[in-house]
Amino acid sequence: MNRRAAAWKPSGLFGAQSEAFLLIARTFTSVYGRVDLGMRNGDRSVANGTRAMPYCKLYYHLIWGTKNRCAFIVPEVEAPLYRAIRTKIRQLNCVVHAVGGTEDHVHVVAAIPPKLALSRFVGEVKGQSSYFMNHVLDADSKFFWQNEYGVVTFAERSLRQIVAYVNHQRQHHLDGSIRQRLELSDEFRATFPMRHSFTRR
């Protein structure tokens, strides 16, 4: 307790209540040590010395393809693969809003906390889903994802629209209504978007 607070004497109508509060504060301080209930750098200090996580809403659209754009994601493996991706995302304490794609690439819409590096998120999801394809579904040929990935952030107001786009991927590719910005998974395709569209090789 600092000297200024210790020397302060409550007065007026609420003097008795203020004295009671001061007594409780002194007792708490003697047991737990000084606690700062204010805000510092956007974080709230708590009694054990750690800081609560700041409020945040970070929405990501991610895309990555199969290695060499091979058409590995056939209809019979699509649903279980997407379930495996959703499960891994939840295990990482992230919120998954949509998973979709076509035979040679996958889109993910997720809310990822700032404490989790984006590269780790992608690596964990890719690794688990590859293991699932190769060892659980026992795919006929060895399954690999490409090394690269594409990511864009967006505002909450766009969430419903982007989720709908991901959930209807096959239709968008069939009728040519793809959104180029959401279909780039590496620097080369971003540089030459018209020469390298998402078609099977």
* Each residue's pLDDT tens digit, 33-52: 443 322 333 333 334 455 55
122 shares its domain with 170? yes
Residue 98: how many other CB atoms lie within 10 Å: 19
pTM of the model: 0.66
pLDDT in tens, 146-161: 999 999 999 999 999 9
Residue 3 counted as domain residue:
no
Whether residue 174 is contained in a domain is answered as yes
Tens digits of residue pLDDT in 164-197: 999 998 888 888 877 888 887 765 454 434 333 3
Q: Are residues 37 and 135 in the same domain?
A: no
Q: How many CB atoms lie within 10 A of CB 108?
A: 27
- Which residue range forms the structural domain that includes residue 45? 12-52
Same domain, 38 and 127: no
Q: Is residue 84 part of a domain?
A: yes
Q: Judge contact between 49 and 57, C-beta under 8 A.
A: no
Tokens representing 152 are: 């864009």
Same domain, 138 and 181: yes
Count of domains for the chain? 2
